[in-house]
A and B are shown apart, each in its own frame.
Chain A
Amino acid sequence: DIQMTQSPLSLAASVGDRVTITCRASQTISSYLSWYQQKSGKAPKLLIYAASSLQSGVPSRFSGSGSGRDFTLTISSLQPEDFATYYCQQSYIAPYTFGQGTKLEIK
């Protein structure tokens, strides 16, 4: 199975900050990488698919980059509603494994 490793696992930031979360795959996954946002008690929400494509309706302050093994999710200017947990997932080879999650908290 492909292992997905996120860093950091937790992050404290302020409204207006620029934040970057990284995700590394244990082997190449081309661009088959998605990012999700999950708030407490809710289902995950797709933010980015195919490593860098913004899902419809997601604010443009979210962006994704990378290919191969290394990927990043960037939030250009944090808003209060962005404090949540973020997960990456590979869909290159089943099982479609997730990263451990990064909890983004208010500083």
Chain B
Amino acid sequence: QVQLLQSGAEVKKPGASVKVSCKVSGYTLTDMSMHWVRQTPGKGLEWMGSFDPRDGETFYAQNFQGRVTMTEDTSTYTAYMELSSLKSEDTAVYYCATPRAEGSLDNWGQGTLVTVSS
């Protein structure tokens, strides 16, 4: 059974960076890609990007290019999403999720609230 356990809530100042972790169990991290999705307060879901450890390929949505880095540490079964140059508009819940073969996201972490405030 695939489980994704995310790191706890963070409070950051504008301009800082945040690194959210997603520890996996029930499967081998290198078997599939990891996707990241965020949800700003009271709003919908926004797909941020994905990292595929099988070939090291990343795809970042245009809104985040230049500010986001997705990585994995296979020794600790943990995926990471780092977002830099934080703005108040980045206040959101960030989710990691794993895909089925055709791309739908069938396993999700519990979410990590990142608050950006001066």
Contact = CB atoms under 8 A, between A and B. Distances in A.
Whether A and B are associated in the same complex: the answer reads yes
Interface of A: 1, 32, 34, 36, 38, 43-46, 49-50, 55, 87, 89, 91-92, 94-101
A32 B102 contact: yes
B80 interface: no
Nearest to B96: A43
Contact of A95 (B61, B102, B104, B111): B61
Given A49-B102, A50-B102, A91-B102, A98 B108 contact: no
B45 A55 contact: no
Contacts of A38: 45
B20 to A, nearest CB: 14
A43 B98 CA distance: 13
Interface of B: 35, 37, 44-47, 49-50, 59, 61-62, 95, 97, 99-100, 102-106, 108-111
Contacts of A97: 47
B52 to A, nearest CB: 11
Nearest to A85: B44
B105 A44 contact: yes
A100 B44 CA distance: 6
A89 B106 contact: no
Contact of B47 (A45, A50, A95): A95
A95 B46 CA distance: 10
Contact of A98 (B45, B49, B59): B45
Given A32-B102, A101-B45, A43 B110 contact: yes
A25 B62 CA distance: 19
A67 B98 CA distance: 24
